[in-house]
Amino acid sequence: MEILILLVGHWFLSLFCQSFFLHRYGSHHMFKMSFAWERFFYFLTYLLQGPSFLNPRCYAILHQRHHAFSDTENDPHSPNHAQGIWQMMLETYKQYSALLNSSGNKSSETARAQSGAPSWPALDNFAKSYSSIILWAIIYTVIYLSINPEPYLYLLLPIHFFIGPIQGAIVNWFGHKVGYRNYEIKDQSKNSLPIDFALMGELYQNNHHQNGKNMNFARKWFEIDFTYQISKLLSFFGVISLNNSIIPKLNKAKLFIFILLVSFSVSAQEKKLIGKALLEYSFLKIDVYEISYYKGKNDYEEIVLDYKINVKRKHSQEGWKVGLKPTLEKNGITEEQVSWVYQNTVDLKKGDKLSLIKQKNKVTLLKNNETIASIEDKVIAKLIHYPWIGETPIDEKLKKSLLGL
C-alpha cells in the first residue's frame, strides 16, 4: 500500500509540473508569474522529475515544433509517422539530446531564445550531469529499501526513474491515436478520455491543437481539465496571473466537481491513529511487537503489528487460540468458524508489519502492505481485533493504551 501511495503521489505531482510549468507556462506562455515563483516551480519540476528532468527550453522548442508540424514528417513526436511508441520516443529523445548538448551552437541558442521558455543554467547543467542522475537513482532505491516491499515491487522503480518521458509518451501517442474529436482540424489529434483525471487534462489533445493558446483544454460540459482548475486556484491566491483574454469564464460547477474529487480522494485515504502500545513477553520483558490502532471513515478499523523479533507461524496460531478463547467459549463459537484466521497466519520476521483491517464485515490481512487474504464474514470481522481491544484482551493496560484511555 505504501509503494502504491508513493507511486501515485509521485505520478500526479510530477505530472502537474510537466503540464503546468513545462507545457502551459514554458511552451505556451499562458500565464505569468514572478521570478521567485518561476524559480520555485523550476526547482520543484527538477525535484519531482529527478533523473528524467526535462529541460524547459528544450521541451519548449520541441513542443512548439510539434504544434507547427503536427502529424507531419517534421513533427518530433507523431505516432502517425512511427512504427510504434518506442520508435516515436527514440526519435524524440534524439532531437531532445541534440538540443540539450548544443549549448555552443549559435543557431541552437537563437532557437532557445525564441522559444521564450525560462532558463536556469546552473540547475540545467547539474540536472543533466551523471552526478544528478545517479544521485536520484540512489534516492529512489533507498526510499524503496526503507519501505521494504515485496521483491517484485522493485520493478516499479523504472517508472520513477523515467516518469517525465513516460507521461509525455502516453500523451503524444494516445492523444493522436485514440479517442474522439470535437474539431475537424488538419492533424490527427484526439481527446482520449471524456474525464481526463489520469493525465490532468493533457489528453484533450484535439481541443488543445484547435486553440493552442487556450489555458482550458476542456470544451464539452463533461470534460474537466484538472490542471486548469488548479491554475485557477493559484491565480486566486496570486501565485500566477492568467491571461484573461484567452481564458474562458470560470465554470464554477466544474471547479466544484474538481475540488470535490480531490477532497474525496484525500479523505478516502484518511485514517487516524488512536493509540500505540508495546507487547512484551515473559518476565524478561522481551519486545514481541509494537501495536498501533487506527480508525477511519465508513467503519474502517486497522491494527498494525510491527514485529521486533522473529515469530514462527505455529506460535502465532497458538497466540490466536489463547486470545480468542474467552469470546469463543462465551458466545458458543467453534474454532471451525474462525479457521480462516488460523489458516492465513504466516511466519513473521523482525521488521515485518502485519495489518489486520476490518471495514464492516470485510476483513483483510496484509504483510508488509501486501494482501495475504481477504474475506467477507460477520463472525471473523467481529473477532479479528478481539485479542487486543475486545472484552477480555490479552493485556488490559495494552487495551487502554490502544484506545487512548
Q: What's the pLDDT score for residue 106?
A: 47
Q: Provide the residue range defining the domain that includes 54.
A: 2-267
Q: Which of 230, 248, 267 is the last residue of a domain?
A: 267
Min mean pLDDT across 113-127, 340-354, 372-386 is at 113-127
| Together in a domain, 57 and 74 | yes
| Total domains, the chain | 2
Q: How far apart are CA 59 and CA 69, in angstroms?
A: 15
Is pLDDT above 70 for 366? yes
Mean pLDDT value across residues 357-369: 91
| Together in a domain, 244 and 309 | no
Q: What's the pLDDT score for residue 209?
A: 94
pLDDT tens-digit series, residues 115-144: 678 999 999 999 999 999 999 999 999 999
| Together in a domain, 231 and 158 | yes
- Categorize the per-residue pLDDT at 102 as very low, low, confident or very high, splitting at 50, 70 and 90: confident
| Together in a domain, 24 and 89 | yes
Is pLDDT above 50 for 245? no
Is pLDDT above 70 for 162? yes
Domain containing residue 286: CATH number: 3.50.70.10
| Together in a domain, 254 and 176 | yes
Q: How far apart are CA 256 and CA 92, in angstroms?
A: 38
| Together in a domain, 302 and 172 | no
In terms of Cβ atoms closer than 10 Å to its own Cβ (0-12, 13-18, 19+), residue 234 is: middle
What are the CA-CA distances from residue 153 to residues 48, 198, 228, 306 (Å)?
A: 20, 21, 33, 21
Mean pLDDT value across residues 308-337: 88
Min mean pLDDT across 200-204, 251-255, 367-371 is at 251-255
Kindly give, in sequence order, each residue whose CB lies less than 8 Å from that of residue 190, ignoring residues fewer than 6 positions away. 174, 175, 176, 177, 178, 179, 180, 181, 205, 206
- If DSSP codes are grouped into helix, strand and coil, which group holds residue 355? strand
For 168, phi then psi, to 5°, come to -65, -40
| Together in a domain, 79 and 222 | yes
| Together in a domain, 150 and 176 | yes
- The answer to whether residues 305 and 353 touch, using CB atoms and an 8 Å cutoff, is yes
Q: What's the pLDDT score for residue 405?
A: 76
Q: What's the pLDDT score for residue 246?
A: 44
| Together in a domain, 208 and 302 | no
| Together in a domain, 242 and 345 | no
Q: What's the pLDDT score for residue 257?
A: 65
Q: Which of 209, 240, 267 is the last residue of a domain?
A: 267
Q: What's the pLDDT score for residue 282?
A: 57
- Categorize the per-residue pLDDT at 73 as very low, low, confident or very high, splitting at 50, 70 and 90: confident
- 3-state DSSP helix/strand/coil percent for the chain, to nearest 5? 55, 15, 30
| Together in a domain, 299 and 227 | no
Give the mean pLDDT of the chain. 87
Q: Which of 267, 301, 332 is the last residue of a domain?
A: 267
| Together in a domain, 189 and 280 | no
Mean pLDDT value across residues 164-181: 92
Q: What share of the chain has pLDDT > 90, as a percent?
A: 53
- Other C-beta atoms closer than 10 Å to the C-beta of 376 total 10
All three cell numbers of 44: 520543484
